[in-house]
Amino acid sequence: MKALIRAVRAFGSFWWDFLVGDTPELFVAVVVIVTLALLLRHHREVALVLLPVLTVLFLAASTVRGRQRREGQP
Amino acid sequence: MSTSSTVVLILAVFGASTVEMVEALTIVVAAGVTRGWRSALEGAAAAVVVLAIIVLVAGVPLIHYVPIDALRVVVGALLLVLGLGWLRKSILRASGHKALHDEDAIFAATSAELAGGAAGSAPGRRRDGVGFAVAFKGVFLEGMEVVLIVVSLGASQHRLGIAAVAAGSAALIVGIVGALVARQLSAVPENTIKLAVGIMLTSFGLFWVGEGAGVHWPGSDLAIIFLVGLFFVVTMGSIAWMRALRPMAAEPSAVASERVEK
């Protein structure tokens, strides 16, 4: 039983590290992108512009956050 | 599925596998040198077998039983998480805001750690539990990302075989090169490869999220090439912009950096 619990914990820990880890903003970004893609399926033109632009903005924001964290700023 | 997207798929899987296998091989070599080659190689081989089984067990049912659109949305999301993370890290490294991945430092740290726990046991031909476990863990953990990429890209494009062969080829080549140059793995331009793969994974991820959700890209698979170009330009621009900001001294230890931010 203990081995099973340990295995489940390790499995959960792996996925948590993989999906969230130390960049939770990227996980949130992907959730937003997927949600918008599903919501905008009938507004193709808007989605085709918005999805790449949002992806670029989220990447830039996360990179800046990474730099600030290394500088010790909030 | 067009030739262009198949080529990008092969490049992405091959590149990702190369980067991860270089990291895994560093740990295996450290375990081999300090605890004995027999246990280290057995540990690495066992991990490869387990990873191959995971690809078969997870990949084949995905292709046959999960609706393709749902699969593409989930796979796209996973690739986006992975790709954006790799891109972010590569931009920070290329612009001098994060220490480069240093295989020499990782090798030295792993060797020191293993040698410290090896009191009285010289590396030899007999089995060593620690050497086996360290090599197995190193290959398994580094390989899991490759498995995720192989299964997700392979399943979403119904090209699991091609993806697996690309990953296996990269592992084989890294293994042969590693055996020849042993401790000179630091010569492999890991950050550049990681950056290129990050661009491809992000492009594939966004493409599949759109396709799976019903937002069909103009030009179908050719849109992947456009997205690769877009993220390439954005990445280069980001690196130039980050370099222009006040440069900071990189951390002296890449090992510490890797442990804090995997």
Q: Residues of B94-129 as b/e, b for ≥16 C-beta within 10 angstroms?
A: bbbbbbbbbbebbbebbbeebeeebeeeebeeeebe
Q: Which of A18, A23, A71 sits opposite B88 (nearest CB)?
A: A23
A13 occurs within a structural domain:
no
Residue showing tokens 């091989």: B25
User: In this predicted structure, what is the pLDDT of residue B146?
Assistant: 84
| CB-based contact B81 A26, cutoff 8 Å | yes
Contacts with A23 from chain B: Cβ below 8 Å: 85, 88
Minimum CA–CA partner of B80 in chain A: A30
Query: What are B60's two structure tokens?
Result: 């084949």
Structural domain harbouring A69:
21-74
Q: In angstroms, rounded to a whole number, what is the distance separating the alpha carbons of residues B139 and B25?
A: 7
A5 occurs within a structural domain:
no
Minimum CA–CA partner of B230 in chain A: A52
Which 8-state DSSP code applies to residue A3? Answer: H
Contacts with B73 from chain A: Cβ below 8 Å: 34, 37-38
Q: Is B183 helix (H, G, I), strand (E, B) or coil?
A: coil
pLDDT tens digit sequence for B157-203: 778 888 888 888 888 888 887 777 655 565 667 788 888 889 988 99
ipTM: 0.89
Of the candidates B5, B79, B56, B61, the one whose C-alpha atom is nearest the C-alpha of residue B168 is B56
CB-based contacts of B108: which residues, under 8 Å, 6+ apart?
none
pLDDT tens digit sequence for A50-62: 999 999 999 999 9
B121: left (phi over 0), alpha (psi -120 to 50) or beta: beta
A32 occurs within a structural domain:
yes
Total tally of structural domains belonging to chain A = 1
User: Mean pLDDT score of chain B, rounded to an integer?
Assistant: 80
Q: Is A4 helix (H, G, I), strand (E, B) or coil?
A: helix
| CB-based contact B216 A44, cutoff 8 Å | yes
pLDDT tens digit sequence for B205-218: 999 999 999 998 99
Highest-confidence segment of A38-52, B16-30, B214-228: A38-52
A2 occurs within a structural domain:
no
| CB-based contact B88 A17, cutoff 8 Å | no
Chain centroid, CA A35 distance in Å: 12
User: In this predicted structure, what is the pLDDT of residue B161?
Assistant: 85
Q: How many CB atoms lie within 10 A of CB B182?
A: 13
Q: In angstroms, rounded to a whole number, what is the distance separating the alpha carbons of residues B141 and A13?
A: 13
